[in-house]
Amino acid sequence: MSRGEFVYEGKAKRIYRTDEAGVFWMEFKDDATAMNGLKRGTIGDKGVVNAEVTRRVFQHLEANGVPTHLRGQVGERDLLVDGLEMLKLEVVMRNIAAGSLVKRLGLEEGRAFREPICELYLKDDDLGDPLINDDHALALGLASQAEIDQVKALGRRVNALLQGYFAAADLVLVDFKLEFGRRAGEIVLGDEVTPDTCRLWDRETRRKLDKDRFRQDLGGVEEAYQEVLRRLVAAHA
């Protein structure tokens, strides 16, 4: 399989065609952004870590019945994926209070919820990805009610699976973001699952091992990403 024509560049990835119709080459960049693009930088070898973490996580999800776009890995920072018709939605799952929710609801960071929280956001950079509900998603034609029900159910299932997957590496899955698309009428998990899109804390010390180190200028950003990959490799040989 070879890399073909360039298609699209996002904040963290570049997409190319391949010689197989409908299959795309996803290159993970070291570029990092936060605060809706206001803060920019690079995190050394982030792309390598994120490609490897996404491949491992998506293989684990597939093995447990969650359909994903992953086809395979073709380079240290390159995955092959099925092209999906992406929903203009982000699904966020939360187990512990952190980030925007702490501000919105006036919570103390680190408070564990009795039940996981599932939220929908409109994918729109100009609007800063606002929080929406099912009715907004339906009214805007982003998805059918059946599809909304499905992405929420998949969000909860992925959360349950990944809590265990990360716990085996002594990592607490605080919250994370998923993106879904359609493939031949079926809802499929796309995009990535990485320390860019998850909050992961050390079980013992609660040290942040994710993009919050970059967002909040905590230092040790590269080391945190490497640590997550190292632990996952050790826990899931």
Site residues for ligand UDP per CB under 6 A: 92, 99-101, 129, 175-177, 197-199, 211
Q: How far is the CB of 192 from ligand UDP (least distance, A)?
A: 9
- Closest residue to ligand UDP: CB criterion: 99
Judged by beta carbon, residue 32 or residue 198, the one nearer ligand UDP is 198
Q: What b/e string do you get for 89-107 counting C-beta neighbours within 10 Å, with b at 16 or more?
A: bbbbbbbbbbeebeeeeee
Bridge partners of residue 3, in order along the sequence? 18
Q: In the complex with ligand UDP, which residue's Cβ is closer, 72 or 164? A: 164
In angstroms, give the least distance from the CB of 38 to ligand UDP: 11
Q: Distance between CA atoms of 96 and 108, rounded to whole angstroms?
A: 10
Least separation in angstroms between residue 237's CB and ligand UDP is 26
CB-based contact 119:82 (threshold 8 Å):
no
Task: Indicate the SS3 state at residue 213.
Answer: helix
Q: How far is the CB of 177 from ligand UDP (least distance, A)?
A: 3
CB of 205 to ligand UDP, least distance (A): 19
Query: Smallest distance from the beta carbon of 100 to ligand UDP, in angstroms?
Result: 4
Q: Please choose, from the candidates 185, 141, 151, 162, the residue with its C-alpha nearest in 3D space to the C-alpha of residue 232.
A: 162
CA atoms within 13 A on the CB side of 28: 28
Of 78 and 175, CB closest to ligand UDP:
175
Which of 15/118 has CB closer to ligand UDP?
118
Range list of H helices, the chain: 46-63, 100-105, 134-139, 145-167, 212-215, 221-235
Residue 177 or 213 having the CB closest to ligand UDP: 177
* Cβ distance to ligand UDP smaller for residue 102 or 235: 102
Nearest to 76 by CA among 47, 36, 37, 106: 47
